[in-house]
Amino acid sequence: MMKRFNYKEHCASLIIILLLTGVSGFINAQTSSVDSSPQYLYPEFSSGIVKMKNGRNQKAMLNYNMVSEKMVYQQGDKLFDLMGTEMVDTVFLQNSCFIPVSEVFYEVVVVAPISLFIQHQGSIIPPGRPSGYGGTSQTSSISSYSGINTASGYHNLKLPSDYTVNVDPVYWIRTNNDIYSFTNERQFLKIFPEQADELKQFIKKGRIKIARRDDLIRLINYSNELLEQ
């Protein structure tokens, strides 16, 4: 799968600029545990920075809803989706950068000739229901518990205690102005057919697991090293 989009490869520089200008709330983050639910990327809402394309910076208590794939902000005791993402340049949250892609956000993980992004997504799993032969069945098609629309925006709700969230991220690589998605080792190796043998050996020797964030970063860093040879 291949898709193109534009983004500014300056997350590290932007963080330094924000620090130098005194906007440091996302580093020493205030947190709030207002009924956090498993659909959120982080266990708590914390202070972050929304950098707009017009250059303005806005502070807010933020988290990311993996089910709706929306950036969520806290206003009083209510939670709402961040709207107008077409006007957002970057969101800084929990020492990470997020960029808008269409109506969702990707986390910027590695900025290099081969860059890595994570599309955090998940689906709600309701409690198992009785099924034939004494077993239970589950479906991930339920979305009504993730939030409701109100006159003032999208109000995110706490899930019932017997509901869970199946986390199923999609990884994106940007190289040579093209971007490719993958979710497993086989798909990753297909992106780099000329380096596939070396990458496969590195994965085997290092016991790399795509689903482990630190392992994936090591793999992308090694891929960039191969590119320089």
* Residue type at 144 in one-letter notation: S
- Tokens for 39? 């659909």
Instruction: Indicate the pLDDT class of residue 138, thresholds 50, 70 and 90.
Output: low
Q: Which of 110-124, 125-139, 172-186 has the lowest mean pLDDT?
A: 125-139
Smallest CA-to-CA distance from 146 within 65, 52, 56 is with 65
For range 154-181, the mean pLDDT? 86
Over pLDDT 70: what percentage of the chain? 72
Over pLDDT 90: what percentage of the chain? 52
Q: Provide the residue ranges of all domains of the chain, joining segments of one domain with +.
A: 1-181, 184-229
Q: Indicate whether 211 pLDDT > 90.
A: yes
Phi-psi region of 206 (alpha: psi -120 to 50; beta: other; left: phi over 0): alpha
pLDDT of residue 154: 52
For range 127-154, the mean pLDDT? 55
pTM: 0.79
pLDDT of residue 104: 93
Q: How many CA atoms lie within 13 A of 185 on its CB side?
A: 15
Q: Indicate whether 3 pLDDT > 50.
A: no
